[in-house]
Amino acid sequence: MADERLSENLERITREATLTRGLGRSYGDASLPHASGARIANSVLANRLISFNLETGALRAEAGLSLQSLKEIFLPRGWFTPVTPGTQFVTLGGMVASDVHGKNQHVEGDFGHHVRWIRLRLGSGEIVECSETVEPELFFATIGGMGLTGHILEVEIQMQRVESPWIWQRRERIHDVAITLRRLREAGEQWPFTVAWLDLLADGRDFGRGALMCGRWATRAEATKPLSLQVKRRAVPVDVPGIVLNRRAMRLFNAVQFKWSQRDSEGLEHPETFFYPLDKLLDWNRMYGKWGFIQHQAVIPCDDSIEPALQYFDLIRTLEVPVYLCVLKDCAHEGRGTISFPLQGYTFALDLPFRPDATQRAVDRLNEFVIENGGRIYLTKDGHTRAEHLRAMDPRLDGFNELRRRWDPEGRIRSALSVRLLGDTP
């Protein structure tokens, strides 16, 4: 058990803390304390808006502001964040620390590309402000820095005007992995939001069948209905027994999904359904049973050829644990953060059930491929990568650690992730 403090007064509770966490939606150990009993701060009550400039769209707020609140306050007024991850149950501070990306990475880059200013408490206890021009090294190390450069207290971001709160969506059903990869790139030239979902449990010819979703903000003329943001959410009340979650059941589930995504369609879609399909089912992770699942997300650099991506699919096919779900995105911009995740290429987010040893071996094999192909993994989703593997794939780590020491000579700020991967003392 950690000693977790929760208060509106984030400045006060971060004074003694070794880490600040938000809504805890990172899949791995990024938001967990470095040791049992360590004092950590939770930012979610510190969620006040500080200022909003109606002309420029600059929004300043406390780090605990959730994307859900932000959406409810600003979307009806025609403003939204330029980048949103796949869940709205994240905080502003978390989005900075993870340098999150969304379906429009190929257009807008990461969240970090739209951050203008950060106020944080350093490991030394001092409170500093940073931006592109003031303390730029601290600023860029904090973007995507997994909360390890200091406690993020306040953030200013650049908001984007949207013509309507609705999304104009197009869905295509695709039967083949290579076509999906190509179509994803092509679609990205016309559509700001693109993502593909693939069924990797199906056999033979059906392997890699899936759906490509493209979207853009609907124009005022298209958005004919008023939008209600009051969404009915259901919760999964108990852990689904493990026996239900076998390969066959998931295969059936995917097949039904695929059949449901019938034919190609185009039309108006609720932003909630488009951006956050899983948020309607609270505690959906319980569907994966008591043992749960892990996610592995990697970016595989692909310039013009899709060959490395195809090889990655071949590797996934031979893993000893089944991949229940694969979400594919197109990345075009390298992140601005010192250790940001994105690179130009395809990103693969895989859901794997957790099985002792077997899952670790699967992650190792995936990571070995990522190293060979010059890719990277997304630390926010990671809980199983070995320190030596991360070191091999990311030469930026030593520089990052050096920067951290500069602002935190005693090495106070730590997390379970930094102990596992960055050599911090537990």
Partner 1 sequence: MRAAVLGASQGMGRAVARRLAQRGDQVFVLGIEPEQLEKSAKDLEVISGQPVGWVECDLLRPETFGPALDRAEEALGGLDTVVITAAIFASQERLEEDTELLRNMLLANFTNTVLLCEEVRRRLLARGGGTLCVFSSVAGDRGRKPVVLYGATKGGLSKYLEGLDHRFRSQGLVTICVKPGFVKTGMTAGLKPPPFAGEPEDVARRVVRAIDRGKPLIYVPPPWRFVMMIIRCLPRFVMRRIKF
Chain residues in the site for partner 1 (CB under 8 A)? 4-9, 42, 45, 48-52, 62, 69, 72-73
Nearer to partner 1, 63 or 212 (CB): 63
Distance from C-alpha of 62 to C-alpha of 57, rounded to nearest angstrom: 16
Least Cβ distance, residue 192 to partner 1 (angstroms) = 27
Radius of gyration of the chain (CA): 21
Least Cβ distance, residue 282 to partner 1 (angstroms) = 11
Nearer to partner 1, 80 or 312 (CB): 80
The number of angstroms, rounded, from the C-alpha of 13 to the middle of its chain's C-alpha atoms is 26
Least Cβ distance, residue 306 to partner 1 (angstroms) = 44
For residues 358-384, b (16+ Cβ closer than 10 Å) or e, as one string? ebbebbeebbebbbebebbbbbbbbbb
Nearer to partner 1, 51 or 133 (CB): 51
Nearer to partner 1, 36 or 51 (CB): 51
Least Cβ distance, residue 7 to partner 1 (angstroms) = 5
Residue with tokens 């930094």: 418
Least Cβ distance, residue 26 to partner 1 (angstroms) = 19
Nearer to partner 1, 42 or 338 (CB): 42
CA distances to 54, 114, 131, 175 from 136, in Å: 26, 15, 6, 46
* Residue 177 and residue 313 in contact, taking contact as beta carbons nearer than 8 Å: yes
Least Cβ distance, residue 6 to partner 1 (angstroms) = 4
Q: Closest by alpha carbon to 111, among 321, 268, 283, 341?
A: 341
Least Cβ distance, residue 3 to partner 1 (angstroms) = 8
**Residue type (1 letter), 287:** M
Nearer to partner 1, 8 or 307 (CB): 8
* Residue 181 and residue 310 in contact, taking contact as beta carbons nearer than 8 Å: yes
Nearer to partner 1, 5 or 151 (CB): 5
Distance from C-alpha of 217 to C-alpha of 44, rounded to nearest angstrom: 29
Nearer to partner 1, 70 or 362 (CB): 70
Least Cβ distance, residue 238 to partner 1 (angstroms) = 11
